Amino acid sequence: MKIIAICGSARTGNTEFVLKRILTEAEKHGLATDLILLKDKRIEYCNGCLTCELTKSCNVRDDMQMIYSKLDDCDTIIFGSPTYFDNVTGLMKNFIDRLLPLFSDKKLSGKKLYTVAIGEELKSVNYSVTGYLEHIGGEFGLNLSGDMSLIAKGSRDIENDNEKIAQIDQFTQNIFI
């Protein structure tokens, strides 16, 4: 089994910490993992040309070609995003827009999806970010397998909170069942 985690945070902080913790535990169980930090990738905007509907590939050449390949080869996907103005970050939204070639070709259908959402207010995190990511996953035919919402404001709040770390570890165990 191979797990790919997509981090939509623009900073090194809570979302990246949570995803790294999940993947480290997965590696201890012998699983192959990959963390994609969108902040470190060159991903252009979707230009709306819809060429991908005909060709099943994107004509924009950037780091998405590598990401498409990794998504194609994995069994499980984890989308992680902090909450920015009651939604996913711009990085995550741009990434999702660029998934259109995989939607057109149904390449993600049947893979497991887990979501990780972090923000200041549980209502915004659960409704806006988790709801959006799960909706997108459903549109792509992903099997919605679990979600985790955490409250945090400062960039290191979660890694300094033993209760939240225990919550992450419990969530992680569900991935291996």
**pTM for this entry:** 0.95
Encode the chain (177 residues) as per-residue pLDDT tens digits. Answer: 899 999 999 999 999 999 999 999 999 999 999 999 999 999 999 999 999 989 989 999 999 999 999 999 999 999 999 988 889 999 999 999 999 999 877 889 999 999 999 988 776 677 788 899 999 999 999 999 999 999 998 889 999 999 999 999 999 998 876
Q: Tokens representing 21?
A: 């913790």
| pLDDT of amino acid 22 | 97
Alpha-carbon gap, residue 25 to 60, rounded angstroms: 35
| pLDDT of amino acid 76 | 97
CATH code (residue 53): 3.40.50.360
Pairing of the two strands 112-119 and 76-82: parallel
Total of domains in the chain: 1
| pLDDT of amino acid 172 | 94
What is the four-CA torsion angle of 110, 116, 121, 123, rounded to 10 degrees? 20
Q: Residue 94 is part of which domain span?
A: 2-175
Please count the CA atoms within 13 angstroms of the CA of 144 that sit on its side-chain side. Answer: 15
Alpha-carbon gap, residue 151 to 124, rounded angstroms: 10
Q: Estimate to the nearest angstrom the gap between the alpha carbon of 157 and the chain centroid.
A: 20
